[in-house]
Amino acid sequence: MPSRPIKRAKLTEPRIPKESAQNGADKHATFTKWAQDRGVETNGVGPARLPGRGLGLVTSHAITKGERMLFVPEKAMFKPNAKFLKAHALERISPHAQLAISLMAVANSDEAPLASWQVTWPNAEDFHQTLPFRWTKVQRNRLPPSVQQPLERQEEDYRKDWNAISNCCTEHDWLESDFLYSWMIVNSRSFHWKPPRGRPGSMVMCPFIDYMNHGPSGTTCNVFQGPQGYEVLADRDYEAGEEVLATYGSHSNDKLLVHYGFVCDSSADTPNIDDDIRLDHVLLPKLSDNIRSQLQDVGFLGAYALLPATNELCFKTQVAVRAVLLTCNEWEYYMSNGEDLSSDYTAAVKEFMRPLLQEYHANAMGHIKWLHSKRPDGHLEAAAGLLMTRWKQIAEALEAYLE
């Protein structure tokens, strides 16, 4: 049967019953009780509003290193609805789409069983403000080149998922905007759950753990998957009133911006060890076809970066530049041993990269100047603020290396 045209409307979050739409601290207290009724254990931690950081998880009393802060049992997780997926022949769509369409089906039901949880999630406008996926063309044109590729990949993934479930949405008279909202919620708040006893795994959502903000590697508590569920253990001693962080992965700020709509702060004193400044767009055009082919053969084509935490070029960048500067034997020796065969070419690599990085720095400063010029009364909207932060990080990292 040919599919009907899909309705389209402005992005909206699924409806929530009026009696569940609490404001302020009340909705978080209601959700805490809702989660605890489903077996979620909280030990001295709870949600709190953090100045300049939105919502986060904060300790209410002192906690000792190794102590369990949170436990989310399997029964409290939201999982893909296997019965619904089978009934609509959706068992082969992506795990992301399976969870998103299951979430949308529940969120649009009259019972709205997740309403107390839903009201703690970002709303549609939050996504419009913070996710490049939802930004205007003008805003997206101001993104660093290194963000474009993961953003295009994200768009491809979404379009593939939408095409896979669009007929199901037509059947239920659901809007694409409903699915898009659920898809972005899943993208930013899901976990992978691997059940015990060989049962198949899936993407899931875990109440209460999703309050936790991200921190770079080595700065966060420990989140473990056990046979019964997820638990969060203190990585150190905590005093009352401290924020509890989790790591979403060893992600650069480019990836954090694309998938989660934020970037981690960093400075010379407290560098973000996970961050990098990608350089493909400045280095690849300077490599001949022959050199590109050689790098491709050994797995060193692309993903070039400056590492702000150590103020050095990554090994792949060192290999690529040496492919231009060295003889074949010298280049192969460097790849195998991580050091030059005779003379040290570190300075020569830096001089090769200097004009390329100077040009990138000038480009970054141009974006910063443009963003400054667009500030009404010195105030930056959320998207422009994220752009300003990321371009400043890029400019500062390039300056530090070029000094």
Chain position carrying tokens 């060989």: 198
Domain ranges of the chain: 18-260, 277-402
Q: Alpha carbon of 277 to those of 228, 250, 256, 364, 387: distances in Å?
A: 40, 14, 13, 12, 14
Distance CA 168, CA 102 (A): 11
Which of 118, 108, 106 shows the shortest CA–CA distance to 28?
118
Cβ within 8 Å of residue 15, ≥6 positions away = 107, 108, 112
18-260 in CATH: which number?
3.90.1410.10
Both structure tokens of 227: 């046979």
Residue 297 CB-half CA count within 13 A: 9
Q: At what angle are helices 253-260 and 176-189 packed, to 10 degrees? A: 140
H-run or E-run covering 48: strand 45-50
Both structure tokens of 69: 């802060």
The predicted model scores a pTM of 0.89
> What is the pLDDT at residue 270?
75
> What is the pLDDT at residue 199?
78
Q: Where are the alpha helices (DSSP H) in 38-175?
A: 82-87, 95-107, 115-118, 124-130, 137-141, 145-172
Over its length of 403 residues, how does the chain's per-residue pLDDT go in tens digits? 333 333 333 344 444 444 344 455 589 999 999 999 999 999 999 999 888 778 899 999 999 999 999 999 999 999 999 999 999 999 999 999 999 999 999 988 888 899 999 999 999 999 999 999 999 999 999 999 999 999 999 999 999 999 999 999 999 999 999 999 999 999 999 999 998 877 788 999 999 999 999 999 888 998 999 989 999 999 999 999 999 999 998 999 999 999 999 999 876 677 789 999 999 999 999 999 999 999 999 999 999 999 999 999 999 999 999 999 999 999 999 999 999 998 999 999 999 999 999 999 999 999 999 999 887 666 678 999 999 999 999 999 999 999 8
Residue 77 CB-half CA count within 13 A: 27
Distance CA 224, CA 250 (A): 16
The sign of the dihedral angle between the CA atoms of 369, 360, 308, 259 is positive
